[in-house]
A = this chain, B = another copy of it.
Amino acid sequence: MADRLPVIVFDVNETLSDMTPMARRFADVGAPEHLAPLWFTSVLRDGFGLTAAGAQQPFAAIAAGVLRTLFSGLDLTRDTDAAIEHVMEGFGGLGTHPDVPDGVWALHDAGFRLVTLSNGAARVAEGLLTRAGIRDRFERLLSVEDAGAWKPARAAYAHAAEACGVDLADTLLVAVHPWDLDGAARAGMATAYIDRTGAPYPDHLTAPTHTVTALPGLAQRLS
């Protein structure tokens, strides 16, 4: 990797997209906003559990299924199916974090090949990056749906490297999620942690190769 630029593989949900508006969707249907992070974490729990058990389900199916469980027993402002639909629709209108366009432009201008690899559907990334005006900076938008396993299983990262025609050692994962960086590191990738919140990086997961507080800092770190 010392002799050539790594292919930069971006996580999508929360790393590129700002998911804070999802909490408002919970409030809209009469559910507490603090259920939004519990929901997202529960989706990952079930997705990773299935992966650990050798199985796989689409992100959207798990996301809707977890909502049905979380909404059980709540006094919602609309029926459960409509409430689930309202929250799920929120995914289709998210924006990127303010630092993302500048960071993507800087990395693209520096000559890096850029792709995304999401546990969600590729069309969600397609919409997000198109709305932000940066879709054309990305060579490919990949989903674990074509990998046979969710991140952080090695097969998910290997799928991205293979799709780009490079070895895992010639790739670098960018994410805000320590579990993702840990899996990527175990698969042999370099890693970059975007630390937008200042929360301590957990000791129980592999430390990242690089840490920056916003995406534009990464181009500087890598050049």
Contact with B along A145-188 (1 / 0, CB 8 A): 00001101110000000000000000000000011001100110
Q: How far is the CB of A160 from chain B (nearest CB, A)?
A: 15
- Does A34 reach chain B (CB closer than 8 Å)? yes
User: Is B183's CB under 8 angstroms from A49's CB?
Assistant: yes
Q: How far is the CB of A162 from chain B (nearest CB, A)?
A: 18
For A50, list chain B residues within 8 Å (CB): 152, 179, 182, 204-205
Inter-chain CA distance A203–B200, complex, in Å, is 35
With A34-B34, A52-B51, A54-B186 already in contact, the answer to whether A61 and B203 are too (CB < 8 A) is yes
User: Is A205's CB under 8 angstroms from B34's CB?
Assistant: no
Inter-chain CA distance A178–B42, complex, in Å, is 12
Among A66-74, A87-95, A96-104, A210-218, which stretch is in contact with chain B? A66-74
With A53-B183, A73-B198, A198-B73 already in contact, the answer to whether A204 and B46 are too (CB < 8 A) is yes
Inter-chain CA distance A44–B46, complex, in Å, is 9
**What is the count of identical protomers in the complex?**
2
For A54, list chain B residues within 8 Å (CB): 154, 186
Inter-chain CA distance A38–B45, complex, in Å, is 11
Inter-chain CA distance A199–B179, complex, in Å, is 28
Q: Which of the listed residues A41, A66, A153, A197 has the most CB atoms from chain B within 10 Å of its own CB?
A: A41
Contact with B along A123-157 (1 / 0, CB 8 A): 00000000000000000000000000110111000
Q: How far is the CB of A173 from chain B (nearest CB, A)?
A: 12
For A53, list chain B residues within 8 Å (CB): 152-154, 182-183, 186-187
23 A-B pairs (CB sep. < 8 Å): A38-B38, A38-B41, A45-B48, A46-B178, A48-B49, A48-B52, A49-B179, A49-B182, A50-B182, A52-B52, A52-B150, A52-B183, A53-B154, A54-B154, A54-B186, A61-B203, A61-B204, A62-B202, A65-B202, A69-B200, A72-B198, A72-B199, A73-B199
